[in-house]
Amino acid sequence: MKPITFTLNGAPQDNGLEDVALHSGFVSRCVVAARSQGAALLCAALLAGCRAAPLAEAPAGQAAVADSAMVVSASPRAARVGASMLRLGGNAVDAAVAVAFTLAVTYPTAGNLGGGGLMLARINGETMALDFREVAPQAATRDMYLDARGEPTDRSVTGALAVGVPGSVAGLYEAHRKYGALPWRAVIQPAMELAEYGFRADASFVEDLEDNLPRFSPSTKALYAPNGVPFDTGMKFRNADLAKTLRLIAERGAAGFYEGETADLIVAEMQRGGGIITLEDLKRYQPKWRKPVEFTYRGHRVLTMPPISSGGLTLALTAGMLEGFDLRAMGANSADAIHVIAEAEREAFLRRNTLLADPDFVTIPTERFLSPDTARVLRTRIGRTKHTLSALPPDPVRGRHTTHFSVVDGQGNAVALTTTLNTGFGSAVSVSGAGFLLNNEMDDFTVSTEVVNQMGLRQGEANAIVPGKRMLSSMTPTIVLDSSGAPLLVTGASGGARIITAVLQVMLNVIDFQMPLPEAMRAPRFHAQDFPDRIDLSMPGIAESTAVALEARGHTVRRKEGPLGFGWAQSILRSGGKWHGVSEPRGHGIAAGF
């Protein structure tokens, strides 16, 4: 397809897809035209222009309010693509699949073809969890990332050996196969065209590249920093190889990725970089439908992600402990409330880090997380004198990694989907000739029980590397229902271990503290886990007097400033008969609805 020149509202546009940012109805028209006929009708649709009413949009931190449907994503273009899919008659799953493919183009730090993700969907009154987490290749071994002295190396972080067998394309294909209403090609078309025709790099796209440039493999440098420097803001970024890969997936489904040319290119990249994924590993990959975790919190049904995520069970246990406290009376962000929430988080993470792993390889003691009795017993420990550990591990990596988006459609269906390459740009290796990055998800396994991983987690034997096993995740796509069983809150976050505590905080802010969604999302975040024994506080949102009061109770407190270092959430709330969408206030995303 050739770039198309056309005029929109009297202004010449140099190609089609930049228009996604300018005119909400564009993608709808494109897709209607292109899905059956290809470029000729797409061109006609462009030339005809489009007249759909603009979307209700709100920048990060503000609420978009809409009657029918809403998409909230860290990538504005992806949110608009999703909303356009809904307008076209797609359901929440169509929109989610389109958003996920678009993120692989417009938000390469986390959006992906070469990574994995977890989806929670409420469709026609039923809830489904889809696990498309990466798996360890068949040639993986328990100690593959340790050196001769048994010390961890950075090979689980950067380079081809860090890559788990990708799950995203198989997962998105499966979600669409089961629930999609639009043609498969239609949900990929916007991503394909954004890759083919390009889009202008914005500040966050460029910042992400700059932060990661030193790690990039030659193949990734060739894509994102072709002359040794990253793209500048305002430059047009195109990725023809990625467009070709997306076209193969559009034509052949998941086989366009796991077999044939794309699979051959992945394996060639492995062989060049010392990775171990084989054609057989790719062919074997299967996403898995799982039974969601369900628990009740102050009368609300909460549906969330089961293992392979640790998120749902850790959230459930934390909430179970907190239900015994009157948080509202303590006050949002008071020292009392932060103290009990942090203590509950610490207890829950202790179990997370030792008991949870791939449910197909270890027995998960689900009851120990969901039983009200366990929560009651643990609750009695809150209030004890604290003993602070002396050794503090290094900080988890900072920056934009992983991305969550939330979708609701006009039929009351909802999708919460978190997808990741693990850290920003994953292994930093791209597949030459195929235009996409590969994950470094192998680092989410327990590489060593002695040290923390990149996410700042010290994990146990249960999560050790075994061929074909999935690595434990913290991704926590979550849907809270209202009393009629309809979605009330759809949320999730990025941020490694901080995902779980960010989702908890958004939920508590809405349910306990009864905040409107923008306030619930803007409220300063804090985080605690079992190790290190410390509460991270987001300052200056949390008052210095509160930090001092927590120290007086024996907590080690770390004051953190700036937008990074806590989870980033993307949420939708039903309120007053309308959808309110709010993208993470510390980020650059949007909410878009109609």
171 sits near ligand DON (criterion: CB under 6 A) = no
Interface with ligand DON (CB under 6 A), residue total 15
Closest distance to ligand DON from the beta carbon of 86 (Å): 26
If the CB atoms of residues 74 and 375 are measured against ligand DON, the closer one turns out to be: 74
Binds ligand DON by CB under 6 A, chosen from 402, 453, 459, 463: 402
Residue 315 CA to residue 131 CA, distance in Å, equals 18
Using the minimum distance from each CB to ligand DON, give the nearer residue, 210 or 251: 210
Binding mask 345-364 for ligand DON (x = CB under 6 A): --------------------
Q: Which is nearer to ligand DON, 85 or 442 (CB)?
A: 442
CB of 409 or CB of 441, closer to ligand DON: 441
Told to judge if 374 belongs to the known catalytic residues of this protein, a careful annotator would answer no
Sign of the dihedral defined by the CA atoms of residues 321, 397, 542, 389, in that order:
positive
- What's the 3-state SS for 186-202? HHHHHHHHHHHHCEECC
Q: Which long-range contacts (CB under 8 A, 24 or more apart) does 11-17 make?
A: 15/197, 15/198, 16/42, 16/46, 16/193, 16/197, 17/190, 17/193, 17/194, 17/196, 17/197, 17/198, 17/199
Nearer to ligand DON, 420 or 491 (CB): 420
Residue of the chain from 190, 496, 524, 532 that contacts ligand DON (CB under 6 A): 496
Distance CA 50, CA 22 (A): 11
Between CA 147 and CA 77 the distance in angstroms is 43
Segment contacting ligand DON by CB under 6 A, of 56-64, 276-284, 331-339, 420-428: 420-428
Asked if residue 579 lies in contact with residue 593, where contact means CB atoms within 8 angstroms, the answer is yes
Residue 420 Cβ vs ligand DON, minimum distance, rounded to whole Å? 5
CB 571 within 8 A of CB 591: no
- Interface with ligand DON, residue 475, by CB under 6 A: yes
**Binding span for ligand DON by CB under 6 A among 56-64, 123-131, 376-384, 494-502:** 494-502
Question: Closest approach of Cβ 560 to ligand DON, in Å?
Answer: 14
Are 282 and 263 in contact by the 8 Å Cβ rule? The answer is yes
Q: Give least dist CB 174 to ligand DON, A.
A: 19
Q: Which is nearer to ligand DON, 52 or 466 (CB)?
A: 466
Q: Indicate which single residue of 422, 430, 453, 491 sits in contact with ligand DON (rule: CB under 6 A).
A: 422
Which residues touch 128 (CB under 8 Å, ≥6 apart)?
Answer: 120, 121, 289, 292
| CA distance linking residue 409 with residue 82, whole number of Å | 10
For 401, residues 6+ apart whose C-beta sits below 8 A from its C-beta are 109, 110, 420, 421, 422, 423, 424, 494, 495, 496
Binding-site member from 420, 432, 501, 546 for ligand DON (CB under 6 A): 420
| CA gap 434, 99 in Å, rounded | 20
Token representation of residue 423: 């850290």
Tokens of 25: 């109805």
Binding segment (CB under 6 A) for ligand DON, from list 10-18, 101-109, 162-170, 491-499? 491-499
Least distance in Å: CB of 63 to ligand DON? 24
Q: How far apart are alpha carbons 513 and 471 in whole angstroms?
A: 35
Question: 159 φ, ψ to 5°?
Answer: 105, 170
Which structure tokens are listed for 339? 């103290």
| Per-position x/- string for 454-473, each x denoting binding to ligand DON as judged by CB under 6 A, each - no binding | -x-----------------x
Q: Does 476 contact ligand DON by CB under 6 A?
A: no
Q: Report the nearest approach of ligand DON to the CB of residue 425 (Å).
A: 12
Which listed residue (198, 495, 565, 589) binds ligand DON by CB under 6 A? 495
Closer residue to ligand DON, CB minimum distance, 91 or 418: 418
Q: Which of 262, 402, 476, 491 is catalytic?
A: 402
Euclidean distance between CA atoms 411 and 422, whole angstroms: 33
Q: Identify the three-state secondary structure at position 415.
A: strand
Q: Which of 245, 314, 474, 583 binds ligand DON (CB under 6 A)?
A: 474
Which of 127, 494, 529, 571 touches ligand DON by CB under 6 A?
A: 494
Judged by beta carbon, residue 102 or residue 422, the one nearer ligand DON is 422
Judged by DSSP in three states, 455 sits in: coil
Q: What is the DSSP letter of 91?
A: -
By CB under 6 A, name the binding residues for ligand DON. 401-402, 420, 422-423, 441, 444, 455, 473-475, 494-496, 499
Q: Which residues are catalytic?
A: 402
